[in-house]
Amino acid sequence: MPIYEYKGYDQKGKSVKGSRDADGVKALRVLLRKEGILATDVFEASGALVSGTTSKSSFLKRQIKLDALFKGVSTSDIAQATRQMAILLQAGVPMVDSLNALIDQIDNEKLKRIFSEIRGSVNEGSSLADAMQKHKIFSNIYINMVRAGESSGALEVVLERLADFMENQAQLKSKVISAMVYPAVMATVAFVIMILMLTTVVPRISQIFIRAKVQLPIMTRMLIGISDLISNYWWLIIIILGGLIYGFVRWKKSPKGRAAWDQFRLKVPILGSITQLVSVARFSRTLSTLLASGVPLLASLEIVRNIVSNDVLEKAIDAVREAVREGEDIATPLKRSGCFPPMVTHMIAIGEKSGQLETMLTRIATTYEQQVQLRVTTLTALLEPVMIALMGGSVGFIVFAILTPIMQMNTLVK
């Protein structure tokens, strides 16, 4: 069934809008009328204007585009929908009926529209994985796991694992981001305070020194020079910084630049170890989920390669995939790459020998995710006194540079 966007008024005269699927415009208006909604504008979700709509439909079209631009689909939305679908399938509800029930429960209009299109494709004989592959919100991991679940006849189990996997990844990302919010806010506040002092306070005081015609200490001359540079040539500073950032982004996107930058990210003190921990945790969790869902090992390694987001680790996984294709185990080439900690390779080797590779990978992921949270928390705790000391030192430099010549002037007056 086609999907329509509508705009109208409810029984209280309040403006409402939304999306529904129906056999046609008349059927949609009947459904909405039963719900107490008078539809004034109807617009096909595909972008085609429905005949018989009012002149307001062009406004509705622009509004729908703006909603699609600013209201995306989060990982949590997809995870919740995936879990609901898994529950419905586990209860023995047929696929199309499960999709119908799921669409009624989804609040996100964009996600509702996507699942309505998926239901239409499934009704036409397409597999669930092929129907989902048409939409960019579903990752390669998601599509391959769904396809493996359909092939093995255990789709509901795979969907439940997918929901767990997505929720776990979203939770880890949320904890890391929330831990870094406070230092970021402090750095922003400190930067704003310094700029205000250099562009408002220092120029006024420097005029006093110029009129007094006193020999200023080198510290004061440095402060006045920095203040003049920022006040008079701020536009040049912005252009230079913008050019440097643009050049860095271009360099980082090049093959050589990306390889060098990713190597640096792994080697930089403190942050490099956190980057490695995050990558290893993501590698282990994703590979475990894929293998447990029935995705073949070589295909799983190919998917995992694309989600580690580090050129050095991608090359290491490529080497592992080639070694596995030639009949070798996973642990040996991982150890040979030197990119994975010894504990990881040892546990993977034990998992391969005992036939519990998925379990071992899950334990590795859990261990390293806990280490990531601990290290990020420790890092943010250390950053707070460091940033306070830097802020105090910067303000102290400004105050000392201003007070020193003032004290000298008072001495001369006496």
CA distance 227 to 225: 5
Mark residue 3 as left, alpha or beta (left: phi above 0; alpha: psi -120 to 50; beta: remaining): beta
Q: Residue 288: how many CB atoms within 10 A of its CB?
A: 24
Amino acid (1-letter code) at residue 329: D
Nearest to 162 by CA among 86, 73, 105: 86
Going by pLDDT thresholds of 50, 70 and 90, the confidence category of residue 61 is very low
Q: Which residues contact 233 (CB under 8 A, 6 or more apart)?
A: none
pLDDT for 411: 66
Q: Which residue has the higher pLDDT, 44 or 266?
A: 266
CA distance 186 to 111: 36
DSSP 3-state assignment of 127? coil
Cα maximum dimension of the chain: 97
pLDDT for 51: 43
Q: Is the pTM of this model over 0.75?
A: no
- pLDDT at 116 > cutoff 90: no
Mark residue 385 as left, alpha or beta (left: phi above 0; alpha: psi -120 to 50; beta: remaining): alpha
CB 265 within 8 A of CB 275: yes
- pLDDT at 58 > cutoff 80: no
CA distance 319 to 287: 16
DSSP for 307-327, written as a single string: TS--HHHHHHHHHHHHHHHTT
- pLDDT at 406 > cutoff 50: yes
Q: Residue 153: how many CB atoms within 10 A of its CB?
A: 9
Residues of the chain with pLDDT > 90: what percent? 6
- pLDDT at 389 > cutoff 60: yes
Q: Which residues contact 179 (CB under 8 A, 6 or more apart)?
A: 373, 376, 377, 379, 380
CA distance 237 to 293: 53
User: For residue range 117-160, what is the model confidence (pLDDT) as tens digits?
Assistant: 888 888 888 888 889 888 888 888 888 888 888 877 778 888 88
pLDDT for 287: 87
Q: What is the mean pLDDT of residues 258-275?
A: 86
CA distance 289 to 145: 8
User: For residue range 69-78, what is the model confidence (pLDDT) as tens digits?
Assistant: 445 778 888 8
Rg of the Cα atoms in the chain: 30
Q: Which helix or strand (DSSP H or E) is residue 294 part of?
A: none
Q: Which residue has the higher pLDDT, 334 or 33?
A: 334
Name all contacts of 69-78 with Cβ < 8 Å and 24+ positions apart: 71/108, 71/109, 71/110, 72/110, 73/108, 73/110, 73/111, 73/114, 73/137, 74/170, 75/166, 75/169, 75/170, 76/166, 76/167, 76/170, 77/106, 77/108, 77/111, 78/111, 78/137, 78/138, 78/142, 78/166
Instruction: Enumerate domains of the chain plus CATH numbers.
Output: 3-70 (no CATH), 75-166 (1.20.81.30), 183-414 (1.20.81.30)
